[in-house]
Amino acid sequence: MFQLEKVSFDYSDQRVFDRMNLEVTTGSVIGILGPNGVGKTTLFQLLTGLYYPSSGKVSVLGYEPRLRNKQYLEKISYLPENLPNIELSIEAYGDLIGPMYPNFNRKKLVAYLTAFDLEADLNLMDLSAGMKRKAFVSIMLSLGTPMVFLDEQTKEMDLEGQRIFRQLLIDAQSDGRMIVIATHHLRALEQLLDQVLIMDRRGHVVINHATNDLDQVLSLKDVTTLPDETLYLTYQRLPFGYRLLCHTPSSEPTDIPLELVYQGFVGGK
């Protein structure tokens, strides 16, 4: 699906990735998690070919994004965290970009907008921040691309909007499409993610795993007193003790909460 081989990337005064290797081969909803400024958006820009690596190779669906090959561009849609300002109605914008995508489905666009309780003739410039996100998410998902990149799209969405957003992602997932999503709202999306990629504060990918396989490398242990720090990654307080997250495989199938995994690898003890 996508691969980075020894990829380095620099902004003029800063190296964001240094010979980074990464391979994601499974998953239909892939979550990219990491603290502010570690390079999630930069990674999206590399995967969509908007930025070129300083060295190394990026491949997505067998294409090299930096070549901006037409067949590749028809297969991907990307919604950046900072949405563009477009002086058109939602439906007019859909009709403008939709024909560039072979699987654009206008009926779905209208259905998604209805689900979000938005009128198709509203001007994108007149929407509140959350409404604008709902409108752009609806347009992006209606393009029908096999791969969708969504950067922080639950931001500003109200709770009902987040619920509808999850429904739309499930709809896209059941059509066999692949969604790569960066988020800080883990709780809103945790149940949907079947692959998770966690970047630590240095921008290193510390976890790249199927969410239901995390118990192959991590385990939980409930204790009444905290043991030596070397024996656990982090802990959660319980009413009468602590739940430890340990870097050892679980002895039986265990649901490992992603928030605790994130805390263990990014937040510290």
Task: Give the interface with ligand ATP as residue ranges (CB under 6 A).
Answer: 11, 14, 16, 34, 36-42, 81
Do residues 81 and 137 touch, judged by C-beta distance below 8 A? no
Give CA–CA dist 81/36, Å, rounded: 13
Report in angstroms how near the CB of residue 81 gets to ligand ATP at its nearest: 6
Between 5 and 81, name the residue whose CB sits nearer to ligand ATP: 81
Residue with Cβ nearer ligand ATP (47 or 260): 47
> Smaller CB distance to ligand ATP: residue 16 or 110?
16
What minimum distance in Å lies between the beta carbon of 175 and ligand ATP? Answer: 27
Distance (Å, whole) CA 58 – CA 49: 9
Smallest separation, CB 250 to ligand ATP (Å):
30
Q: With H, G, I as helix, E, B as strand and everything else as coil, classify residue 192.
A: helix
CA distances to 60, 144, 210, 217 from 25, in Å: 10, 21, 10, 18
What is the closest distance, in whole angstroms, from the C-beta atom of residue 67 to ligand ATP in the complex?
22
Alpha carbon of residue 111 to chain centroid:
23
Residue in this structure with the two tokens 């970009």, named with its chain if needed: 97
Closer residue to ligand ATP in complex, CB, 201/221:
201
Could you give the 3-state DSSP secondary structure of residue 21? Answer: strand
Please enumerate in sequence order all residues whose Cβ is within 8 A of that of 159, keeping only pairs 6 or more positions apart, or say none: none
Q: Check the CA dihedral 133-135-137-140 and report its sign.
A: negative
Of 81 and 194, the one with the shorter C-beta distance to ligand ATP is 81
Please say which residue, 78 or 93, places its beta carbon nearer to ligand ATP. 78
**Strands laid side by side in the 2-11 sheet:** 14-24, 2-11, 55-60
Shortest CB 14 distance to ligand ATP, Å: 5
Residue 13 C-beta: closest distance to ligand ATP, Å: 7
N-to-C CA span, the chain: 34
